[in-house]
Each structure stands twice: as C-alpha cells, then as structure tokens.
Structure 1
Amino acid sequence: MVRRASSREADHAQQVSSHRARRRKPARPAEPTTDEQPTEVVRGFVDQFATLLAATGLPRMTSRVFVCLLTADADGLTAADLVRRLRVSPASVSKSIGYLETMELVVRQPGSGGRRERYVIDDDAWLRAWQADTGAHADIATAAQRGIEILGTETTAGARLGTMGQFFARLSEQMSGSSLTETAVYDALTVLAALVHADRPLTLGILATALDWPRDRATAALDAIQRQPALADPLALRTVGPQTYTLTTRPDRLSPAQREALDQ
C-alpha cells in the first residue's frame, strides 16, 4: 500500500510539474550586442582627445561622449553602450547626446529588429560645423560694423570694433573658400597669376585666349575670385570696364594714413 501510494503521488507530482512548465512563458532571449569594451589605450585616447575639445568650450562630458562615438564602429553605439564604455550615469549620456544633436554632430538611427536606437557621427557633421562657424564669424563682423556706425570711427571703441570686424570678415572669407572645388581654386589662382604677370587690365576675351581656356572657364574663375576675395589676399580683383579686370591692393590691408605715406 505504501509503495502504491508513493507511486501515485510521484505520478501526480510529475503531471503538476509538466502542467506548470507548459504554462510558464518561455524566457526572452538576451538582447544581442556588438559593443566591445575599448582597450586601455583607446580609453586614454578618448580622455586625451576629450580634454582638447573641452578646452575649446565643449562641455567635458559631452566631449567624452563625442570622442567615444568618434572611435566607435560604423553602426554607432546605444546609450547603454556609452554608459558602459564611459562608466557614467545614463542621465549624463542623455544630456550630452541632446547637446550634440542640437549642434547636429550626432544623429539617431533605429536599431535593427526593434532594438534600441543607436547614435552615430554623421558624415556631414564636419561640413555643418564649418559652415556654422563661418556664419558666426560673418555675423560678428556685421555686428562690429553696426557698432562702428553707432559709436563713430573717431572713437577708441569704434577703432577697436573696426579691427575686430576686419579680422572676423577675413576669417569668414577664408573659411567660406572651402566650398570651392580644388579645380575652381586652381583656376582662380591661375587667373590671378595672369593678371599679376600682365601688370595691366585684361578683358575676358584676352584672358581666355592667353590661357587657352573656353570663355566660360575664365568666367567661372573670375566669379570664384569675386565670391571668395580671400583667394586674392592681399590683392583684390577690380573691374575697370566691361568684362575688363585688373588687380589692386585690398582696401583693408592698409590704413588711409599708410596709403598716404606710401604715395609721397
């Protein structure tokens, strides 16, 4: 009797266990990750590079997040990856990502299969940052000019603003020159060399013939110089007649007093 009861109890226990196993939901598989922890050498580089960026005004933590993404694989990193790599809080990563997104240096990409979003350095980030700086420099130059009009050119403040405005105007011109192709810059410099060598005004037709160029190529080179005056610095392209050009000194390179002294 004892053996028979024990057998029935064992069978019942097995049935209950099997029933519970059928009702139990299968465990959710762990989310795969491709993130690999950086080596100590990479960690050192991230910290060193971040320190350099922080010296330019970028917040320290934001600099670390940016460099961490900069050294990541092409598919970027998730917020959790950044927390693990930098050993910081999720809130710190979130704040830094928001800052970088505002600057358009980082973009979000949806993860495959509904996985978490990943953050990557956009390929056009450098161009946008360059253009943003160029625009800011031009705005400063314009603001300085307004200040000169308000305070007057004869005042100390007006003279100080004039110097600052010239500096930022030239800086903006030089940075904007990056939008030209290498071929356009080469042609523009060739036209400048031709005008210097001729040492006299040249018409578009004479210039194109002498360089053995089509007229539209010479026109494009002249247009590039006019759009980017920094290419000719310290000289400036001057139109002296219908499609006739020569070179002169930039008006902001010499003060009126310096010009007067040189003309004596």
Structure 2
Amino acid sequence: MPGGRLTQQERQRIAAGLADRLPYAEIARRLDRPTSTISREVARNGGPGGYRPQDAHQATVQRARRGTPSPPSAAGAPGGAMEEEIIELAVRSGLPRMTARVHVDLLLSEDGRRTAAELTRRLEVSPASVSVAVNFLVQQGYVRRERDPQRRRDVYVVDDDAWYHSIVISSRQTLESAQAATAAAQTYGLDSPVGQRLAKVGAFLEQVSLDLRESADRCRDLLA
C-alpha cells in the first residue's frame, strides 16, 4: 500500500469518486489507501460537497513549505461545520467535549499526529486540559503515544488500527463487568431474585463482549 502524502492525481480521483457518490471506503480501495486517509482529506478540504482537488493539493504544499500544521477550521468554514457536527456526535455518545475536540483534531490532521503543544495551540486551551483528554484517549485505545527521542516530547497518534484497539479494550471492560455480575450473583445465591437477575446480566454482557471481539477480529482487515 502506498504511503506518504496524497498526490495531485490521487486528489483528482477522490474528487471524481465524490462526484460519482462513491463511499469513502470504495474510493480508498481504488487508490489503495486507508479509508481514514480519504475521510480526513475530504473533511479538512471542504467536505464532500465542497472538495476541490487543486485547492486541496495547493493547501497541502503550502503547509509543507511552512512546516506548520494547518490552523483549526472556523465554525463557518466548509470543513468547520462538519468538524463541529462530529464533535457534537461524540459528545452525545458520552465523550467529554474537551476530549472530543482533541480526538477530532487528531482525526482530521494530515497524518493523524499532534504534539501536546500543537493541540494546546490549535484548540486554544490549557496544557492541563489537553493532558487529561489525551490520557483518556490513550487509555481507551483511541490514540497511542509515541516518544520523540530527539526533541524529548510525546507525540499523539491516531492510526487506522486505533479503532480495532479501542474495540478490544471496550470488549475487555464489558467482559470484566460480566464477570463481576456473575460473581455477585453467586454471592447472593442463584436461587434468589437478585442472584437470578445478576446472573442474566452476567450472561448477557459476556456474550456481547465475545461477539464484539469476534466482530472486530473478523473486520480488522478493513482497516488495512
């Protein structure tokens, strides 16, 4: 699978795929690229309805020349509205807003990488807020931490396999809840109403955990 930045020709093919209403996964397959690369590329350059391959390529070239990350999208900009929508979806699913903002900023970055200083500057928040957010994301498997030995700093990374690892961690936590419920059921007695209720909960959560892990393993190649 090719690596590195998208070429101008690839961006033209992305635009053609969007015009044909192809899903991101199909566009990615045709380019032999990860689906997340396509989704990030489109999201940060106008969205499905406003993507312009020449503008997107020129913006990437300019950022590379400056050697700095792109500025955060304004809420009124084409990509900004989509970014805010993703953040709201994450918040409604239970993610703290600051954590959601950090996660989305990483997702929409060119290479899925940010330092804590970059996140602090881009989101205009305190280093402590960023630290709390990235620690949670790392613990849940959404983000991994790399060490830059030359500059002695941490780099936070969202790669394609992060989604698999987050599902595995969620499955493991669900299984732990199942085991706790089963143990409590035995303590209360399986012949008691409480014990029977907890035993059912334990059996349900255990099966959900196993199914979730099996599904993640079966579908993992979609992230390759």
Match of 1:57 in 2: 94
Secondary structure in structure 2 of the residue aligned to 1:57: coil
Deviation at 1:152, TM superposition (A): 1.9
Task: Encode CA deviations 1:240-263: one digit per residue, 9 max, x unaligned.
Answer: xxxxxxxxxxxxxxxxxxxxxxxx
Secondary structure in structure 2 of the residue aligned to 1:77: strand
2:192 is aligned with 1:155 = yes
Contact kept in structure 2, 1:75 and 1:118, CA below 8 Å: no
Q: Indicate how the Cα distance of structure 1 residues 109 and 168 shifts in structure 2: closer, same or farther if over 3 A, else same.
A: closer
Considering only CA atoms, is the larger Rg found in Structure 1 or Structure 2?
1
Match of 2:49 in 1: none
Match of 1:209 in 2: none
Superposed, 1:9-20 pairs within 5 Å as: none
2:160 is aligned with 1:123 = yes
Q: Indicate how the Cα distance of structure 1 residues 35 and 112 shifts in structure 2: closer, same or farther if over 3 A, else same.
A: farther
Q: Distance in 1 between matches of 2:112 and 2:171?
A: 30
1:105 to 142, 152, 156: 142
Equivalent position amino acid for 2:122 in 1: R
Match of 1:142 in 2: 179
1:168 to 186, 205, 212: 205
Could you tell me the percent identity over the aligned residues?
34
Superposed, 1:200-219 pairs within 5 Å as: none
Q: Indicate how the Cα distance of structure 1 residues 180 and 121 shifts in structure 2: closer, same or farther if over 3 A, else same.
A: closer
Q: Distance in 2 between matches of 1:96 and 1:181?
A: 30
Q: Indicate how the Cα distance of structure 1 residues 98 and 153 shifts in structure 2: closer, same or farther if over 3 A, else same.
A: closer
Deviation at 1:170, TM superposition (A): 1.8
Secondary structure in structure 2 of the residue aligned to 1:63: helix
Q: Indicate how the Cα distance of structure 1 residues 98 and 135 shifts in structure 2: closer, same or farther if over 3 A, else same.
A: closer
TM-score by length of 1: 0.49
Contact kept in structure 1, 2:113 and 2:155, CA below 8 Å: yes
What is the aligned-residue RMSD (CA, Å)?
A: 2.9
Deviation at 1:60, TM superposition (A): 1.6
2:127 is aligned with 1:93 = no
Equivalent position amino acid for 2:138 in 1: E
Deviation at 1:80, TM superposition (A): 3.3
Secondary structure in structure 1 of the residue aligned to 2:109: coil
Match of 1:208 in 2: none
Contact kept in structure 1, 2:72 and 2:123, CA below 8 Å: no
Deviation at 1:160, TM superposition (A): 1.5
Q: Distance in 1 between matches of 2:171 and 2:88?
A: 24
2:67 is aligned with 1:33 = yes
Deviation at 1:68, TM superposition (A): 0.7
Q: Distance in 2 between matches of 1:154 and 1:45?
A: 53
Secondary structure in structure 1 of the residue aligned to 2:144: strand
Task: Encode CA deviations 1:36-89: one digit per residue, 9 max, x unaligned.
Answer: 124333333333222322333332201110111011111622333323332322
Q: Distance in 2 between matches of 1:137 and 1:174?
A: 11
Match of 1:28 in 2: none
Task: Encode CA deviations 1:129-173: one digit per residue, 9 max, x unaligned.
Answer: 111111122222222222221212232212221221222122112
Q: Indicate how the Cα distance of structure 1 residues 92 and 178 shifts in structure 2: closer, same or farther if over 3 A, else same.
A: same
Q: Indicate how the Cα distance of structure 1 residues 153 and 59 shifts in structure 2: closer, same or farther if over 3 A, else same.
A: same
Superposed, 1:64-83 pairs within 5 Å as: 64-74=101-111, 76-83=113-120
Q: Distance in 1 between matches of 2:183 and 2:146?
A: 43
Q: Indicate how the Cα distance of structure 1 residues 41 and 116 shifts in structure 2: closer, same or farther if over 3 A, else same.
A: farther
Structure 2 gap segments, 5+ residues each: 1-65, 220-224
Equivalent position amino acid for 1:34 in 2: T
Task: Encode CA deviations 1:70-111: one digit per residue, 9 max, x unaligned.
Answer: 111116223333233323223322332233233343234456
Secondary structure in structure 1 of the residue aligned to 2:94: coil
